[in-house]
Structure 1
């Protein structure tokens, strides 16, 4: 009898687990996600210009279009333009585009369809000697690497991914690389930090590989500049979570947004997890925290002079800049592996938010629901046994 009860309990638990998992999948999988039709073109309307490339990825939705433009003429720059029509196009006047003193070389037409535009310029790489292992930038800062002066490779295309690597005269046996990915629908990369992306975002991976540091205790910073129009990215919000399922040990995400428009679906964002990795195949023991400085207003002219794409598209842009520093006090220095990678999302609308996976939700449901079900079943069994015992003690009438 006891054996049968145990088997019954196990069967009930399995049935409940299967039901909870199925229910969570149906509720949280979201069905078919929103998709865009993506096409990629290299150097639109012309041949490969000397010294770099211009990539145009066009992502068409139901009634709008996103234009992602990635340029290596000068400092690497990603420009995102959102239009309210599916027929908007990019026009490049290469004579004006290649002239560093003339704006207007790149336009998105019709110009009246443009809802929003913003760009991210990877302007400088900074290195400092952390002699006292405090991870504080002091006077031991070396002369910066100006990325506009790098020699950049041609863009290496593969489907909706483009890779770019550059070297400087002062680099020894190493390079700085960037990889842009554009997406048709929602998903996430398998390698950490496994950022959640949507069809409204692109992803940029940055890594420093094999560069000989200028000191044995070197740490690095990356300077970014956000260049835009009506809604410049001027503040960083930090959102915390109790879930580190997709990026182990990391419980927060940083979002560079417009303070005026941060609560609206209109506008754009730059989003990242505050973690970098010291090896090309990320593992938990190779994770290193990163920090950001507060955005500060910068010269729009300086951004335009460092990037041909900024000069070609904007006339009087609003510019804010910040630094992302890699490593905290007590963390290994760059020289330990001579590798450092960091990943960031750039998109429009609301930034994607991580949520518990269906499996985790099912486990939580089982963990919380099973004790309640057992209590209820126990109560029912007790009541049934009492009723059966009471009925067995009653004398039956004798006919």
Structure 2
């Protein structure tokens, strides 16, 4: 039985629908997860989680490590065959760079590490939340005894005991585009991961204690030396929050293929699960140059991967709470979330709901004015006069 011949219209329709499907197809990556790659036993001093995210023609390597201060390393390669190798004896000695490699080395397009180095606490006696702070001795996170990594798919959880409470870090890697279920509901892509920091039950050293989290970055041809703040009138996904901070390279603002970014909404939450009434604004300091050599001393991951990156290290503090906000003792809980990825950071567009509200808000008055003008014109229009003349005899 012969197949019916296709007409030119059938071919055009087929091409049209194929193009639409191709344009609408969501970019995704194939994820694979490995705990302590190449090691047959749990290494002393902390774990290393490797998430390999393979795309159509590139690979992202996410490495989350608790050897020393917790750190997330993101390496972008331009091949699909790249992989990670670890020389564990050298890695555990923490005195040699190059014990962790991404091979082939010539395929690496960018490499950036984010290190959670210190937790700072201060006594906000006057309730101003402004510098200069009356700082207590900081909590050095490389001195914390961290738990073993808890894995769930492409997600890892890490906790450590601090001040009779705990500080926990949750890391997720995503295969495609989506949005987190809980606030701040960050938009993510297949080129990003998400990290949440939670301070739970810490014994504050004053009744008016507030906290700051010190973050440091290292590596990349374009170091993360600038923070840009984006503003929007659409707060549908994070009510009452209109600002997004993006830590990136000031010299590489529009790169789609090499630059890294760290993005967060300027909000933390005082309870779990987060709710609108427990939202607390947060701020950040300007990035400042730091010592890459000193950073390698506190992070086993930085020491293992990077050589001398002295000129590429920058750091900033994220502070939680503003003047008049409840102090940490009010709930003894804080959570903050950030997105870490490569390329252009995802940005929220106006949702259909907001677009409809704006259209109604602006369009309805114009329609009313237009109809009112037409009605007024019609009312003022002179009517045709009808005169009757009597015949003249």
Give the TM-score category using the shorter length: 0.7 to 0.9
Q: Measured at CA, do residues 135 and 380 of structure 1 come closer, stay the same or move farther in structure 2, by a change above 3 Å?
A: closer
CA contact (8 A) 1:128 1:137 kept: no
Following TM superposition, by how much is the alpha carbon of 1:358 offset from its aligned partner in structure 2, in angstroms?
2.8
2:25 is matched with which residue?
32
What's the offset of the Cα at 1:260? 1.1
How far 1:88 sits from its partner (Å)?
0.4
Residues 336, 375 of structure 1: alpha-carbon distance in 2 compared, 3 angstrom cutoff: closer
Of 42, 63, 73, 2:35 maps to: 42
The question of whether the paired residues in 2 share the 8 Å contact of 1:54 and 1:70 is answered with: yes
Q: 1:185 aligns with which of 173, 176, 188?
A: 176
Matched residue SS, 2:72 = strand
RMSD value, Cα: 2.3
From the superposition, tell whether residues 160 and 139 of structure 1 become closer, same or farther in structure 2 (CA, over 3 Å).
closer
Give distance in 2, aligned partners of 1:187 and 1:110: 31
Asked whether the equivalents of residues 220 and 259 of structure 2 are also in contact (C-alpha less than 8 Å), the reply is: no
Secondary structure of the residue that 1:179 maps to in structure 2?
Answer: strand
TM-score (norm 2): 0.85
Deviations 1:271-323, CA, capped at 9 Å, x for gaps: 10111010011111111111111111111111101011000000012210100
| Structure 1 partner of 2:272 | 280
Matched with 1:253 is 244
Q: Which moves more between the two structures, 331-340 or 96-105?
A: 96-105
Name 1:293's counterpart in structure 2: 285
Cα separation, 1, equivalents of 2:106 and 2:92: 25
Indicate the larger mover: 106-115 or 364-373: 364-373
Match of 2:263 in 1: 271
CA positional deviation for 1:365: 4.3
8 A Cα contact 2:121 2:210, kept in partner: yes
Contact 2:234 2:354 in 1 (8 A): no
> What SS does the aligned partner of 1:98 have?
helix
Deviations 1:243-270 (CA, angstroms, capped at 9, x unpaired):
1111111111111111111222231100
- Provide the rounded CA distance (Å) in 2 between the counterparts of 1:48 and 1:348: 30
Which residue, 142, 151, 159 being the options, matches 1:148? 142
Which deviations, in whole Å up to 9, do the C-alpha atoms of 1:124-153 show, x marking residues without a partner? Answer: 000001111111243521000000000100
Alpha-carbon separation, structure 2, partners of 1:60 and 1:339: 37
Residue matched to 2:185? 194
What is the distance in 2 between the residues matched to 1:369 and 1:328?
38
Aligned counterparts of 1:135 and 1:32: Cα–Cα separation in 2: 47
Aligned pair partner of 1:77 in 71, 74, 91: 71
**Counterpart of 2:234?**
243
Aligned-residue offset at 1:340: 0.4
- Corresponding residue number in structure 1 for 2:106: 112
Q: How far off its partner does 1:241 sit?
A: 1.1
The partner residue of 1:262 within 235, 248, 253 is 253
**Counterparts in 2 of 1:374 and 1:305: CA distance versus 1, 3 Å:** same
TM-score, normalised via structure 1 length = 0.84
Shift of 1:367: 5.4
Q: CA deviation at 1:121?
A: 0.2
